[in-house]
Amino acid sequence: MADVKVKKETNLSEPAEVENRIKELCQQFPHGITDQVIQNDMPHLEPQQRAMAINKLLSLGQLDLLRNSSGLLYRMKDIQSTSKMKGSDNQEKLVYQIIEDAGNKGIWSRDIRFKSNLPLTEINKILKSLESKKLIKAVKSVAASKKKVYMLYNLQPDRSVTGGAWYSDQDFESEFVEVLNQQCFKFLQSKAEAARDSKQSPMVQRNSSFATSHEVWKYICELGISKVDLSMDDIETILNTLIYDGKVEMTVIAAKEGTVGSVDGQMKLYRGVNPVIQPTGLVRTPCGLCPVFDDCHDGGEISPSNCIYMTEWLDF
Binding site for other proteins (CB under 8 A): 166, 172, 174, 177, 181, 196, 201-203, 206, 237-238, 240-241, 243-246, 249, 251, 273-285, 287-289, 293, 296, 298, 303-305, 307, 310, 313-315
At residue 43, the 3 state secondary structure works out as coil
213 burial via Cβ count (<10 Å: 0-12, 13-18, 19+): buried
Alpha-helical segments (H) within the chain: 2-13, 15-28, 35-41, 47-60, 79-84, 90-101, 109-116, 120-132, 159-162, 174-197, 202-208, 213-223, 232-244, 286-289, 308-314
To the nearest whole angstrom, how small is the minimum distance from the Cβ of residue 23 to other proteins?
A: 50
| Residue number with CB closer to other proteins (135 or 149) | 149
| Residue number with CB closer to other proteins (86 or 199) | 199
| Residue number with CB closer to other proteins (15 or 304) | 304
To the nearest whole angstrom, how small is the minimum distance from the Cβ of residue 305 to other proteins?
A: 4
At residue 146, the 3 state secondary structure works out as coil
The amino acid at 249 = E
| Residue number with CB closer to other proteins (244 or 264) | 244
> Edge to edge, what strands does the sheet with 248-254 contain?
211-212, 266-272, 248-254
To the nearest whole angstrom, how small is the minimum distance from the Cβ of residue 281 to other proteins?
A: 3
To the nearest whole angstrom, how small is the minimum distance from the Cβ of residue 216 to other proteins?
A: 16
| Residue number with CB closer to other proteins (153 or 293) | 293
To the nearest whole angstrom, how small is the minimum distance from the Cβ of residue 304 to other proteins?
A: 4
